[in-house]
Amino acid sequence: MPCFTMADLSGLWERGRKLCCPWGAPSTTSISCSLADVMSEQLAKELQLEEENAAFPEVVAAAEGPFITGENIDTSSDLMLAQMLQMEFDREYDAQLRREEKKINGDSKVSISFENYRKVHPYDSDSSEDEVDWQDTRHDPYRADKPTTTPRRGFIGKGKDITTKHDEVVCGRKNTARMENFAPEFQVGDGIGMDLKLSNQVFNALKQHAYSEERRSARLHEKKEHSTAEKAVDPKTRLLLYKMVNSGMLETITGCISTGKESVVFHAYGGNATEDKVIPPECAIKVFKTTLNEFKNRDKYIKDDYRFKDRFSKLNPRKIIRMWAEKEMHNLTRMQNAGIPCPQVVILKKHVLVMSFIGQDQVPAPKLKDVTLSSEDMKKAYYQILNMMQQLYRECNLVHADLSEYNMLWHDGKVWLIDVSQSVEPTHPHGLEFLFRDCRNVSQFFQKGGVAEALNERELFNAVSGLNITADNEVDFQAEIEALEKMNEDHVQNHGKKLSTFSGDGDPPIYDE
């Protein structure tokens, strides 16, 4: 075992301390610097650049420039100083973003980027963004990048470069720009980023189509505002109803109780009675639809009626609806004077007819097709309808023209007739044809209902009209009806007046239960 002296051990300890002890003296000596050098901004910038060059050498190369060194820059301008400061801040901000990217991404194959958060400030423009309206600086997609001026007269350019106001390219761009003058409802598409050029033929076709669509839209709007297709309450109808309530004639309007192809019926409570008019406790408001789409054959019932024939040819379709309401008012008045059970007319305002309500407590009387009657009541209803048809033909000089179980109500143990706006006189060119159709509907309904005494349509027709047409089959029967209608029409053309009654063998028989 070797022996060491104290001097040898001290030397070894000193040498080991210098080599492996962290508190040992450094091998290199640091460069001394003064306090002025430490406080120097230039030294701080150099140290910062050295750090960024070590981490991002390409970024520093791109960032070097006059804004960093300050050489050859006129710093007397406040704007230039502000731009330099902002550029320095943005550069530091971008460097911080890149450091964050490197820290987050690391060695991952999938990386994220903060490029969208970088600060980009173009300082080449002399104008400020706050001073210029964005609408004045936005790009016009319908204008060429280098627009050429075209004089209103003459031409510009020489030789092959001559350009007139009729140039195809210039006119095409002008036509495309003029599409913006079309109505807002007319969609012309999006031409952003496209140099569109419309020929005159295409532009004129689009313009004509745009005008047509604008007029069609206006017509639809007018039809919607002035029609009564939706529940028959347009602004004008609503105003009429408000006036009736405000005048005290009606107390309140509760709601709709029935809808049909020609009208809508509302329920209302009657108001105060006047000196010349008695208001029933409950009223039915019949609003005739001003659209002719659902009931287009109205003129078949009204144009040949001598009471309205002269006025029919001079009116527009909307006023014909008022005449249709007036027609029902006159027919109901005739039936009321003859004692036939029917609604009582209260007042007529344009296309709104107010009548008495057939029912009680807002519940309308059921139609004959919806009510279940006993055999005795069914027989009673049949004879009552037969007497009403005869009375309607003889005393009122009317044919219902739409009589069926849908237009007859059962209330207080008897039948009530409604919907007589289409009723015509027997001397109408189609009056006997309508009467035969009514007889067929009534006969078939009561025969199916079990009424043994119910006559067939031909017997019922003779019983109502008293014409006593003898025919073995229905075809010959209808042929004789058409012959009678033709005879009446010829008499009108020759003598200028209607026959009071058709010739028969006498008054029609009265059937009693």
Share of the chain above pLDDT 70, in %: 66
Give yes or no for a contact between 418 and 342, defined as CB atoms under 8 angstroms apart: yes
Catalytic positions are 402
Range 366-498: architecture per CATH: Orthogonal Bundle (1.10)
Give yes or no for a contact between 217 and 195, defined as CB atoms under 8 angstroms apart: no
Q: What band does 122 get if pLDDT is binned at 50, 70 and 90?
A: very low
Average pLDDT, the chain: 76
The per-residue DSSP string of 100-122 comes to: HHHHHHTT-SS----GGGS----
Which is more confidently placed, 219 or 507?
219
pLDDT at 35 over 80: no
Q: What H or E segment, with its residue span, contains residue 417?
A: strand 414-417
Q: In the block, which residue shows the tokens 């010959």?
A: 476
Whole-structure pTM value: 0.54
Q: What band does 340 get if pLDDT is binned at 50, 70 and 90?
A: very high
Give 296's contacts (C-beta < 8 A, 6+ positions apart).
Answer: none
- What is the per-residue pLDDT across 260-318, written as a single tens digit (0 to 9) for each? 878 889 999 998 877 778 899 999 999 988 765 544 566 666 665 656 555 555 556 66
Q: Class for domain 229-364, per CATH?
A: alpha beta
pLDDT at 2 over 80: no
DSSP SS3 for 367? strand
φ, ψ of residue 269 to 5 degrees: the values are: -95, 135
- What is the per-residue pLDDT across 138-168, written as a single tens digit (0 to 9) for each? 445 545 555 555 555 566 777 677 777 677 8
Which is more confidently placed, 250 or 47?
250
CA distance 225 to 120: 56
What pLDDT is stored for residue 41 in this prediction? 73
The per-residue DSSP string of 431-459 comes to: HHHHHHHHHHHHHHHHHHTT-TT---HHH
Q: Which of 17-31, 192-206, 439-453 has the lowest mean pLDDT?
A: 17-31
Which is more confidently placed, 258 or 410?
410
Task: Give the mean pLDDT of 381-405.
Answer: 93
Which is more confidently placed, 501 or 172?
172
What pLDDT is stored for residue 73 in this prediction? 60
What pLDDT is stored for residue 271 in this prediction? 86
Q: What band does 181 get if pLDDT is binned at 50, 70 and 90?
A: confident
Task: Give the mean pLDDT of 231-255.
Answer: 86
What pLDDT is stored for residue 494 in this prediction? 62
What pLDDT is stored for residue 503 in this prediction? 43
Give 468's contacts (C-beta < 8 A, 6+ positions apart).
Answer: 462, 504, 505
CA distance 125 to 79: 12
Q: What H or E segment, with its residue span, contains residue 363?
A: strand 363-364
pLDDT at 381 over 90: yes
Task: Give the mean pLDDT of 382-402.
Answer: 93
What pLDDT is stored for residue 282 in this prediction? 94
Q: What band does 395 get if pLDDT is binned at 50, 70 and 90?
A: very high
Give 441's contacts (C-beta < 8 A, 6+ positions apart).
Answer: 403, 404, 405
Task: Give the mean pLDDT of 391-404.
Answer: 92
Task: Give the mean pLDDT of 392-412.
Answer: 93
Task: Give the mean pLDDT of 178-199.
Answer: 73
CA distance 348 to 354: 6
What pLDDT is stored for residue 136 in this prediction? 45
**Domains of the chain by residue range:** 161-225, 229-364, 366-498
Q: Which of 40-44, 56-60, 117-121, 503-507 has the lowest mean pLDDT?
A: 503-507
Highest-pLDDT range among 104-118, 152-166, 277-291, 488-502: 277-291
pLDDT at 361 over 60: yes
Q: What band does 64 get if pLDDT is binned at 50, 70 and 90?
A: very low
Q: What band does 404 get if pLDDT is binned at 50, 70 and 90?
A: very high
pLDDT at 52 over 60: yes
Q: What H or E segment, with its residue span, contains residue 205?
A: helix 200-226
What pLDDT is stored for residue 299 in this prediction? 60
